[in-house]
Amino acid sequence: MADRVRLGVVGCGVIAQMHLRAAVGWPTIDVVAVADLREDVLKSTAATHKVPRTYSNADALFADREVDAVLLAMPTGVRTALAVKALAAGKHVLLEKPVAMNAGEVRDLINRRGDRVVACCSSRHRFLASAKAATDFVATGKLGAIRVVRVRAVSEMGKPPGSPPPPWRLSRLLNGGGIMANWGCYDLDYVLGVAGWRLKLRLVLGQTWQVAPAFASRAAAGSDAETHVAALVRCAEGATLTIERGEFLPTQGENAWQIIGDAGGLRLNMLPVEGATITYDEGVEAEGVVSRVIWQGSERWDIIHEGPVRDFAAATLERRPPMTGLEQALAIQQITDAIYASSESGAAVPIA
């Protein structure tokens, strides 16, 4: 078995630079090629990270027989078509988030995957030590039967931006959606993954809102995607998942991720911060609720950028599933699609 993955990176934007910093010099990865349509960005990226080969388009990189696997780091609207070409060329594929524009695209990738490893970067926050501790704790069954998985992650409106916002970020055409696509995929990957991917999704009722007209400077001209979303997902066996994500809001920010069962609850922290804690609230018949910290520590943002590419390389070499594969990404995309459909129709949307 090979001991190193020869990696090519397509797209040399901001997020690709983070991947490259995590990949270059890692014992199981050789970054052998990069591609980008912008010649100046391509050349500077190759020089900065000492990448030997450059290509002005993805097709040329995919044709390189010295490339085993590719990382696709570009807006969602064009990514699936490139993933299809990469798979056809026999490459393993790491997809930036969100995984695709819709669940149909994810199913298409599943059908085309064959024996290749395909991973999605929505897994970023589950590489934190706190996430592993929480996942292991949930697996013990001490929470009892899960009743509610809760996400509320909203950020307050800051001052107007000093530079124009990127046009893709709140574009349905380019990105597949707004805050739900950009950050909701992280929330869902995190809580569903910590819960062991055991929740069976059934019905979604959701609502989305675009940025308020008074604060339109926060969005690029022509933006048509949401900056605020709230949804209830009903699951099998009586469990529910609630999610609220928002940005540029005229309210105080809050970050809360919880898993609540009939025996106890777990208070989580998806973000790497100083002095992070994971707290177990246990229902004790004689005492009421007894709380104890099951994990405490400080975590670096670097970890969430290192995790996906290094895990992808290991999964490729070991021929094992990555942290988040296409099946898990499909569940996330199904919820996202259903939220958008429910918001448009005003009715609950079933998930097959």
Residue 164 belongs to a domain with what CATH number? 3.30.360.10
Going 323 to 75 to 306 to 157, the CA torsion angle's sign is: negative
Q: What is the pLDDT of residues 282-331, one digit of tens each?
A: 999 999 999 999 999 999 999 999 999 999 999 999 999 999 999 999 99
How many domains in the chain? 2
Residue 352 has pLDDT above 90, yes or no: no
State the Cα–Cα distance between residues 178 and 7, nearest whole angstrom.
30
State the Cα–Cα distance between residues 180 and 189, nearest whole angstrom.
12
Pairing label, strands 118-120, 264-268: unpaired
Residues paired with 31 in a beta bridge: 7
Mean pLDDT on 111-123: 98
- What average pLDDT does the chain have? 96
Residues 287 and 203 in one domain: yes
CA atoms within 13 A on the CB side of 153: 21
Residue 1 has pLDDT above 70, yes or no: no
Residue 182 has pLDDT above 90, yes or no: yes
Pairing label, strands 264-268, 276-284: antiparallel
Domain extent for 87: 5-124+305-324
Residues paired with 34 in a beta bridge: 9, 54
Residues 113 and 175 in one domain: no
Residues 57 and 102 in one domain: yes
Report the b/e string of 136-170 with b at 16+ CB within 10 A.
Answer: ebbeeeebeebbebbbbbbbebeeeeeeeeebbbb
The overall pTM is greater than 0.85: yes
Helix (H) / strand (E) element for 302: namely helix 301-318
Residues 103 and 54 in one domain: yes
CB 247 within 8 A of CB 219: no
Residues paired with 277 in a beta bridge: 296
Residues 242 and 340 in one domain: yes
Mean pLDDT on 93-100: 97
Residues 286 and 309 in one domain: no
Residues 186 and 135 in one domain: yes
Nearest to 246 by CA among 180, 191, 190: 180
For residue 130, the Cα-to-chain-centroid distance in whole angstroms is 17
Mean pLDDT on 129-151: 98
Task: Dig out the tokens for 292 from the structure.
Answer: 């104890």
Query: Tell me, what's the pLDDT at 205?
Result: 98
Beta strands in the chain (DSSP E): 5-10, 29-35, 53-55, 69-72, 92-95, 118-120, 146-156, 201-209, 228-235, 240-249, 254-261, 264-268, 276-284, 288-297, 349-350
Residue 168 has pLDDT above 80, yes or no: yes
Mean pLDDT on 92-118: 98
Peptide bond just before 98 cis, omega within 30 deg = yes
Query: Tell me, what's the pLDDT at 341?
Result: 98
Residues 50 and 114 in one domain: yes
Residues 259 and 144 in one domain: yes
Residues 222 and 199 in one domain: yes
Residues 104 and 195 in one domain: no
Query: Tell me, what's the pLDDT at 287?
Result: 96
3-state SS, residue 176: coil
Mean pLDDT on 187-215: 97
Residues 19 and 69 in one domain: yes
Task: Dig out the tokens for 284 from the structure.
Answer: 């004790």
Query: Tell me, what's the pLDDT at 244?
Result: 98
Query: Tell me, what's the pLDDT at 230?
Result: 98
Percent of the chain with pLDDT over 70: 100
